[in-house]
């Protein structure tokens, strides 16, 4: 069956087939159609009309020599003039396609009943387009490959799927782009933090499909959609609805072996560097390598570093352990909500709410501990810098033979004393401002009718009231901060500085406001505060 019945530019048939008493004749009119297309179409109609003994050489001559009538077959025994209709069913039986050849000469037109008989013979019973059929019958024109019946395709169902929260499935990690367009290679977003009870993933249930029907009335069943289970892994829980996966603990979300897990400890297999970016984790972090210069680790739990901390930054709510020691390079900063443990400290800034425990040495560092500072390894040195402890400092050697300036403070550090001084200065400034405002208020209230005159001089009563309230609020906060520092100064005598081997000149020891300078090399000594003096006793 051909794809089209050719027409010329005036939408007239490109050829004329006549069946007469003395033979069958063909005339081809001027058209843009190619030779092969014309030949195929003419052959199709000859076959449909069952014309016999056709001379196809004459057919070809007619195509080559336009507008000349050629006899292509002898007279036929039966009339071939009646209209012919052909119905073909597509391979998948989803379409019935009609080709109609109009009558020749005085032949009979195809009727609706005739077309219906052909449909019935092909078992076409579903999706028949009556409007299209009526149009074809009424027009009486040639029709090629016209779809007159369509089946109902099956509607595929939808497989069950898993919908993850914001970043669980982000496998293509990209650095964060800063506001100026530069790329932040320190922040790669490797860690996906979740808190206990947070929804990690939801299951979208499968949706069944719907049946289809062919033009021959066959029922088509869609394949059943695939169902899946929520990929529950370690430290996750599926709710009773069977559709929600929730974190059973706070930590890092990771997909392992196709299952979603939450790990309270985030393990960095190598160094914290440009391959990982900065680490910011809701739980604890273990670094199998080192933390390189300029990079940071922030954790709400503990941080354990198997290598070194080299000019990096650590901020954690728990303990910090650095197996190979801390090289601050003058810019590293370490803050722990618990204690800090390290083999050595060098040019480092360390602050711990509890204790700082060091093996070999603390060299030229600033160390602040709410509890103890202990350096008790093989060397056990504290040389240079400042060490402040809330209760006790212990080392084998403090200072050096070169009399390097080394400060040890117990109870309240010099920084707090400096803060007390700054608070007092600020307090005096605020009191002076309040005194000036109160003086103006006194004048304002004592002079009757002076409201307009004072305002004309730049005084706004409501504005000054607001300023005074603000200053009084600031003063209250400052006085509370001062009282906290003063309370520490009034604490009873406590704390010790213990030197197991030797302390050198150049070392300064402070207990609050009481200062003691070491003048002579001293061994096996313990310093403590008694009243307003620093006393010594044998190391014990």
10 CB-near residues (< 8 Å, 6+ apart) = none
Report the C-alpha gap between 364 and 405 in whole angstroms.
9
pLDDT (0 to 100) of residue 170: 42
At 435, is the secondary structure helix, strand, or coil? Answer: helix
pLDDT for res 401: 93
pLDDT, one tens digit for every residue, the chain (540 residues): 334 455 555 556 788 888 888 888 999 888 877 888 788 888 878 877 888 888 989 989 888 998 898 988 888 876 677 888 888 899 999 999 988 888 887 788 888 998 998 899 889 999 999 999 999 888 878 888 889 999 999 999 999 999 887 655 544 444 555 555 554 545 556 667 788 888 989 999 999 999 999 999 999 999 999 999 998 988 899 998 889 999 888 887 878 778 888 878 888 889 998 888 888 888 888 899 999 988 999 988 888 899 999 888 999 988 888 988 899 887 778 999 889 998 999 999 999 988 999 988 999 999 999 889 999 888 899 999 999 998 899 999 999 999 999 999 987 655 665 677 788 888 888 888 888 878 777 766 666 455 555 554 555 667 778 888 888 888 888 888 878 766 665 554 568 999 999 999 999 998 877 899 999 999 999 999 888 888 999 987
Tell how many helices (H) and how many strands (E) occur in the chain.
7, 39
Among candidates 314, 317, 337, which has minimal Cα distance to 325?
314
Length of the chain: 540
Greatest Cα-to-Cα distance within the chain, rounded to the nearest angstrom: 145
Rg of the chain on CA atoms, in Å: 48
Q: Are strands 326-327 and 340-346 parallel, antiparallel or unpaired?
A: parallel
- For residue 125, the model assigns a pLDDT of 94
What pLDDT sits at residue 378? 85
Measured in degrees and rounded to the nearest 5, phi and psi for residue 37 equal: -65, -45
Sheet holding 193-194, edge to edge: 193-194, 251-256, 259-263
pTM of the full structure:
0.54
The secondary structure of residue 225, as a DSSP letter, is: P
Long-range CB contact pairs, 108-115, < 8 A, 24+: 108/81, 108/82, 108/83, 109/83, 109/137, 109/140, 110/83, 110/84, 110/85, 110/137, 111/137, 112/137, 114/85, 115/85, 115/87
Which three-class secondary structure state does DSSP give residue 243? coil
Distance separating alpha carbons of residues 254 and 266, to the nearest angstrom: 10
- Identify the bridge partners of residue 13 per DSSP, sorted by sequence position: 7
Q: At what angle do helices 112-121 and 130-139 cross, to 10 degrees?
A: 130
Q: Find out whether 326 and 332 touch, Cβ atoms under 8 Å.
A: yes
Give pLDDT, residue 244.
Answer: 92
Whole-number Å distance between alpha carbons of 16 and 7: 11
3-state secondary structure of 87: strand
- The CA distance from 35 to 438, in Å, is 111
Q: How far is Cα 277 from Cα 173, in angstroms, rounded to an integer?
A: 11
And the tokens for 293?
Answer: 């210069």
Question: Which pLDDT value is given to residue 1?
Answer: 34
Q: How much is the pLDDT for 189? A: 60
Instruction: Give the Å distances, CA to CA, from 419 to 224, 246, 486, 516.
Output: 74, 47, 11, 21
- Of 288, 291, 292, 319, give the one whose Cα is nearest residue 306: 288
């Amino acid at each position: 069956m051909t794809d089209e019945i050719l027409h010329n530019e005036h939408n007239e048939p490109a050829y004329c087939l006549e069946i007469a008493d003395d033979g069958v004749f063909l005339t081809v009119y001027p058209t843009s159609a190619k030779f092969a297309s014309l030949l195929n179409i003419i052959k199709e109609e000859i076959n449909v009309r069952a014309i016999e003994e056709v001379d196809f050489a004459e057919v070809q001559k007619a195509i080559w020599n336009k507008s000349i009538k050629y006899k292509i077959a002898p007279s036929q025994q039966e009339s071939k003039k009646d209209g012919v209709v052909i119905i073909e069913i597509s391979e998948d039986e989803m379409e019935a396609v009609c080709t109609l050849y109009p009558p020749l000469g005085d032949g009979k037109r195809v009727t609706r009943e005739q077309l219906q008989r052909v449909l019935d013979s092909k078992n076409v019973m579903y999706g028949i387009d009556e409007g299209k059929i009526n149009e074809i019958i009424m027009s009486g024109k040639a029709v090629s490959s016209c779809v007159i019946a369509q089946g109902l395709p099956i509607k595929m169902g939808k497989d069950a799927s898993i919908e993850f929260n914001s970043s669980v499935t982000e496998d293509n990690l990209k650095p964060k782009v800063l506001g100026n367009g530069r790329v932040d290679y320190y922040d790669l977003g490797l860690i996906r933090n979740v808190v206990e009870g947070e929804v990690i993933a939801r299951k979208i249930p499968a949706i069944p499909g719907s049946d289809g029907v062919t033009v021959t009335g066959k029922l088509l069943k869609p394949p059943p959609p695939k169902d899946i289970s929520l990929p529950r892994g370690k430290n996750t829980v599926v709710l009773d609805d069977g559709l929600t996966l929730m974190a059973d603990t706070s930590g890092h979300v990771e997909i392992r072996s196709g299952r979603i897990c939450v790990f309270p400890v985030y393990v960095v297999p190598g160094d914290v560097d440009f391959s990982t970016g900065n680490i910011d984790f809701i739980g604890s972090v273990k670094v199998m390598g080192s933390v390189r210069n300029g990079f940071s680790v922030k954790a709400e739990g503990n941080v354990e570093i198997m290598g070194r901390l080299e000019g990096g930054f650590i901020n954690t709510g728990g303990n910090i352990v650095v197996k190979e020691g801390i090289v601050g390079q003058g810019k590293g900063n370490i803050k722990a909500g618990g204690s800090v443990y390290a083999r050595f400290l060098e040019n480092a800034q360390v602050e711990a709410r509890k204790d700082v425990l060091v093996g070999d040495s603390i060299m030229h560092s600033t160390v602040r501990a709410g509890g103890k500072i202990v350096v008790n390894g093989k060397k056990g040195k504290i040389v240079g810098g400042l060490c402040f402890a809330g209760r006790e400092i212990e080392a084998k050697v403090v200072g050096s033979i070169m009399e390097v300036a080394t400060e040890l403070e117990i109870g309240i550090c010099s920084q707090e004393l400096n803060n007390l001084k700054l608070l007092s200065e600020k307090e005096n400034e605020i009191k002076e401002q309040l005194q000036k405002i109160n003086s103006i208020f006194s004048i304002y209230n004592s002079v009757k009718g002076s409201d307009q005159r004072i305002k004309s001089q730049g005084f706004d009563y409501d504005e000054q009231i607001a300023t005074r309230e603000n200053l009084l609020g600031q003063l209250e906060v400052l006085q509370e901060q001062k009282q906290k520092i003063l309370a520490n100064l009034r604490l009873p005598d406590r704390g010790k500085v213990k030197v197991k081997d030797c302390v050198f000149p150049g070392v300064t020891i402070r207990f609050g406001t009481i200062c003691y300078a070491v003048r002579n090399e001293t061994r096996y000594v313990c310093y403590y505060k008694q009243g307003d003096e620093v006393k010594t006793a044998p190391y014990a």
